[in-house]
Structure formats: structure tokens, C-alpha cells
Structure 1
Amino acid sequence: MPDTESTAHLRLDELTGISWRPFPREELPDIAAFYAECERYDDNPERTSLEKLQEFWDSPRSVPEEDTLVGRDQDGRVVATAWAGCNRVVTEGRGVYLGGAVRPDRRGEGIGDAVLSWELAHGRAWDDATRREDYGPLVMLLSAPTEQTDVRDLATRHGLPTERYFFEMTRSLEQLPDVRDMDGVHLTDWDASRSDEVHVAMDEAFRDHWGHTDTTPQMWQEEIDSHAFRPAWTVLAIDDATDRVVGAAMNCAWEQDWEPQGYTEGYTDQLGVLSSHRGRGVAKALLAESMRRFKESGMQAAGLGVDTANASGALGLYERLGYRPSASTCMHQLTR
């Protein structure tokens, strides 16, 4: 029988010398430094910035006072975090992101087991308390570097099997592919007046991808308001006949990753092309133009992430364009 949330919280409270409370906003710099220590130790390809934590905390759809806990020792140092981010605005699939961590020198004491138990119990309790008949399944997700076996074993023991593998991929910008003309489609700059149209097009383009649920207008606005989003790097594909957005490369700068990876990088966070316009070289052109913009801005590399089981052939396209895997992560998932 899985733990109830109250039982799981008692397990946390029984850990000697650690006190727990939700993330206070004024303590986010401390928590960001804690994540940096853990991610450096684990060689995690995705780093957590203070800005990212602040954006989470400030989002109208976040409830940090319910979904987060930070554990400190008697000297006030952060020992662990428990983070079960419940996506309250999407009902097609009720997503819970499990993002806890334990300081490297305190691992092996059972803290991680208690943290994950609370995260899962919190996700189940939230779903039970708010579920309606027309809601989709509860999906709880935990991402980890493929080689981080301690976390992966913990996830498996708690009933979260490995569901998917992803590559982080990168390529140098020393030599760029040509941006060729496409039949009936042209590329253009990001246009804020088309934001809603791009939103609809990207949801449509990703609808056949694993794990996709359409984003709400609020979620979309948060993406384009993010500190990492780079409008000047972002590229749209427009149908000549209809003036409709048929694809986009939504590009970002994850600056917190640059120092640990050893180079600056423009990152294609989302690349989508409508199914009606696939096979015309639109995705290749979007990436090639993105690379040109990255290089013009002084970046050393272009990066992106890919689901290795993506049926669209995306991995092959990226490899042909010179991208090579730089890291591997996996997604553990529990669905009920």
C-alpha cells in the first residue's frame, strides 16, 4: 500500500537533524546553489538557474507552498529538496514533475527514499482531492542522467520504470549548412503579433509526439516570457500562399549550462513543422537559419534535445546536420 501524504511527511520528520518547510522565495538563492552542487556532482546536462526557480515560484499556476519542501540541517545548510510540481491547468493528462535532490555528502542515509515517497504521495493526494470524471490519467515524471544509477534505481523501486531515453546533442558553428529556398515556404523573424498563431502551430506539430499535451495560453506566455527565450534567434516558417505559420524553431540561451559544458551555445528548445509541410526541408532550413543566428551572436555551438524513439526521424536529421550526442537522460514515469 503506498504511503499517504501524512505518513510520507512523518518519514521526512523522522530523519534525524533535518527540519522541513516549503520553499520560501527569499531562500531561492540558497536553493539554487544547492542544486548547482548536486548537478555538478552528478554531471547533469541540465542545470537549474536561480532565474528558473524564481520563474517557477512566481508563476500563477505554481503552488510552492504545497508542492515543495526544503530540508535543512541544524547548521541551516540545505540537505535536500522535495519537489512535486503539480500542473493544475492541464486536465488531459495530470502531470506531476518530481524534482527532488539530496546533497552528495548526505546520500546513502535514506533521505532520497523518504523524499521520493513524499513526492509520490503528494501527487496522488492532489489528484485524489481534485479529480473529475473528464480528467485524463495522473502521470508522474522523474528525469535523470542515464548514468545516475542511484536515482534511477530509486525510481524503479518506487514503481517508476524507464519510459524513454533522450539525447542532448550539439554541433560546432565553425561550418554551417546552407539555408536553401523551399517550395512555397519562406523563413522570417519572430513576430510577437503572431504569438498565438505560433502557439497553435506548435501544439499541432507536436500532437503526435510521445507525452505531449497541448499547452494553455498561460503556459505558452510563460515560455516566451522566460529569461532564456531569445526572440532574435527564433525563426518562423510561413506558407507563401496562406501566410500561415507552418513551423518554428523556438530558440533559447541556457546560460547556466555554458560554464560546465565548456562552450557557449544557442539552444533550439522546440522545433516543430506541421505534418502538411513535412518532407520539404522546412525543419532543416529552420535549424540552419538558427545556427546562422547563433554564430552571428557569438555562440560557439548549437544544441538541442531529442527523444531517441521519435518516430518522425528527427534523430537522423540532426545527425545529418552534424549534431552529435553530448549527454543522455532518461525519463521514468508512473501512470495511474
Structure 2
Amino acid sequence: MREVGATATLTRVIFELSEAEARAALDVIPGLTWEPIDRDRLPAVAAFYAECEAYDDNPERKSLAGLQEFWDSPRSRPEEDTLVGSDAEGRIVAVGWSGCNRVVTEKRGVRLGGAVRPDSRNQGIGRAVLRWEMAHGLEWDRATRRDGYGPLVMSLFAPVGQADVRDLAERHGLTVERYFFEMALTLRDPLPVPNVAGVRLVDWDEERGEEVHATVDAAFRDHWGHVDRTPEMWAEAVTAQAFRPEWSVLAVEEDTGAVVGAALNCAYEQDWEATGVREGYTDELAVASTHRGRGIASALLRESMRRFATSGMEMATLGVDAANPSGALRLYTGLGYEPRAETCVHQLTRAGNQ
């Protein structure tokens, strides 16, 4: 009970802490100077994250291209949402990343993505970084909130085994809300692609992007944490460096010509460097709720596997919510996917009137 009370007290302190106070606490850390991340430093930031993610055995790795895409997005405000702490030699010691989603109002999302170099941990830097990230998210929400906006949701993703970050998150009121499995299947002999009565599988079609967007978002509305994406967010996803249109597959209803499912596939080459294995990743697998139970999802995955193998990939991979309501985990294990890593999501939700 004492630990619960201490956490609640600390959470109240976080809500009362101004961003200016949190920023001042960073400035008094000996030997470090702080400034927003400049685009020219992104290669160094990418290398910093790679070192941290390798040490923490993180199943998802950041890439320089991904950081640059974030930077260049008109939705981003890196000059407001990021800080980098450097030592006297210019070496990056810590990054504070409090990504505020400024275009979705149903839930006001803030992604907490800070990190500290492994050899500089246990010195209070991570605590100060997290407090700044949370104070920044809270202050942004207070300053920009309007009537009708949904709750503020601050999220921190961490490998299940990263005990230091998970403990830090818990002590700051970020409780575990969900677990996700990373799953993999070795592409020895790709499974045959079955025919689905009344449905045909076709290539990705950029001209149908708006329809696919609507189908995918509708299919995920019964999933935890989902919010519909704006057209700009969707466009960024399907033009990203990692997206592979030649691997992606659409399911089209023969009678109506409507898109009723999709497998959107990606190549996260920074993960290949970490694992030593070339992988095709199914980033989104969606089937319209009116067409589930007909084998469409299985057909989409099998066709994706075939395309991965044809391109020289060694494994098919994907991520899944451990409590997915659609039975996705059973589908994946039935096809031969096996869990290889587990990530948890810590969150703190604050109603708009608080």
C-alpha cells in the first residue's frame, strides 16, 4: 500500500509540474547541455537509438529514414517536442521525445519516446527526461484543448524485459494497459494460397488508396487504442520508405468490386541489421467485419508470404495485440507464426476536464 500511495503522490506532482520547471531540472544535470534535435543531427540520433535498442533487445528499431520522415512531416513539431542532451564532447547521452499528435482530437495522443545511453543510466537522467516529456504533453494539451476533444493519452512502449524503464513508468503513473507479441514464421515452403469464394486477391492500387484507407480504419475500430487516421496520416503511411506496394495485397469482392480486406506490408531494414535475417513485415492486416470468418485474412497472409519469399525474404513477421478481439492470435499461430518478443504499453489517461 505504501508503494501505491507513493506512486499516486508522484503522479499528482507530475500533473502540477510545469514544463518550465521540468526543463530547468534537466539543465542542472552536471555535464549535459540540452537543445531541440536539429535535422542535421538525425544520423547521430539514429546511431544513439540503435545503441540503446540493441542493449535493451528492443524488437522494433528506429531508422534514419523513419526519423527523417517524422522530421519532414507537416504534422511534426520537432523544435517543440524533442530535446537532446549532449556531453562536453558532443556525444549524445539522452534524448527526450514527447510526440504530440496534433491532428487527431478523438484521443489526444502523446508518444513518450525518450532514451538514455546504457553507460549513463541510474544517474537520475531518465527520471528527469520522462518528467519533461510528461510535463510537455500536459502543457501542450492544456494550451490547445477545445470543447469536444477526447482524453489525453500518454503512452510509453517498452520491451517486457526492460525492467528499469518499466519501473520508472509505473512510478510516474504510467500503468500497463496492453501486451503485444512480435511473431515470426520461417519461409521454407510458403503455404498455398487458397481461393476464397466471391473474393479475389489483387495488387496494391494507389488509385484505390482512399477506399483502402476507409476499409482498414473501419476494420480496426473494435481494436484497443484505435483512432481513425486523417488523410495526411494515411498518405504518410503508404508513401513511407518502409512501405512495399509490391508486397501489399488487396481483397476485392467480385460482385461489387469493393475492397473488403488488405495486407499492407513493409520492409524494416534496420531490423534486418539487428537480427541478421531478411524479413517481410505485415504492418496491417484488415478484413471488413461483414466479411470475417471466410478465410480472407488467411489468404491475404499466405499471398504476402509468397511475395516475401519471391523477393528473397527469409521470414514473415508481424505484431499482434495479445488480447485482440478478432481471434488474430489463433490465426497466426495456426499458420505457423511463433512469438519471438513481447512489448508492453504503459499509459496514463487524463480526462479533458481534469
TM-score range, shorter chain: over 0.9
Of 253, 257, 278, which aligns to 1:264? 278
Counterparts of residues 35-46 of structure 1 (less than 5 Å): 35-46=49-60
CA distance in 2, matches of 1:109, 1:47: 25
Deviates more, 1:275-284 or 1:175-184: 175-184
What is the alpha-carbon distance in structure 2 between the residues aligned to residue 227 and residue 43 of structure 1? 24
Distance 1:42 1:244 in 2: 44
Secondary structure of 2:119's aligned partner: helix
Match of 1:301 in 2: 315
Query: Per-residue deviation at 1:262?
Result: 2.3
Q: Does 2:291 correspond to 1:291?
A: no
Partner of residue 113, structure 1: 127
Residue of 38, 56, 64 corresponding to 2:78: 64
Q: Return the letter of the residue paired with 1:7.
A: E
From 286, 290, 293, the equivalent of 1:279 is 293
Question: Does residue 164 in structure 1 map to residue 178 in structure 2?
Answer: yes
Q: 1:310 matched to which residue of 2?
A: 324
C-alpha RMSD of the superposition = 0.5
Q: Does 1:73 align with 2:87?
A: yes
TM-score w.r.t. length of structure 1: 0.99
2:104 matched to 1:90? Answer: yes
Tell me how far apart the structure 2 counterparts of residues 303 and 248 of structure 1 sit (CA, whole Å).
16
SS at match of 1:303: strand
Dislocated runs of 4+, deviation >6 Å: none
Residue 50 in structure 1 maps to residue 50 in structure 2: no
Structure 1 equivalent of residue 222 of structure 2: 208
Q: Which residue of 2 aligns with 1:189?
A: 203
Distance in 1, matches of 2:344 and 2:239, equals 28
One-letter amino acid of the structure 1 residue matched with residue 228 of structure 2: D
Q: What is residue 233 of structure 2 aligned with on the other side?
A: 219
Partner of 1:124: 138
Q: Does 1:239 align with 2:253?
A: yes
CA distance in 1, matches of 2:57, 2:194: 38
Give TM-score, length-normalised by structure 2. Answer: 0.94
For residues 284-318 of structure 1, what are the alpha-carbon distances to aligned partners after superposition, in whole Å with 9 as ceiling and x for unaligned?
A: 00000000000000000000000001111100100
Between the aligned residues of both structures, percent identity stands at 64
Aligned 8 A contact 2:190 2:309 in 1: no
Shift of 1:260: 1.5
Which runs of 5 or more structure 1 residues have no equivalent in the other structure? none
Instruction: Look up the SS of the partner of 2:88 in the other structure.
Output: coil
SS in 1 for 2:45: helix
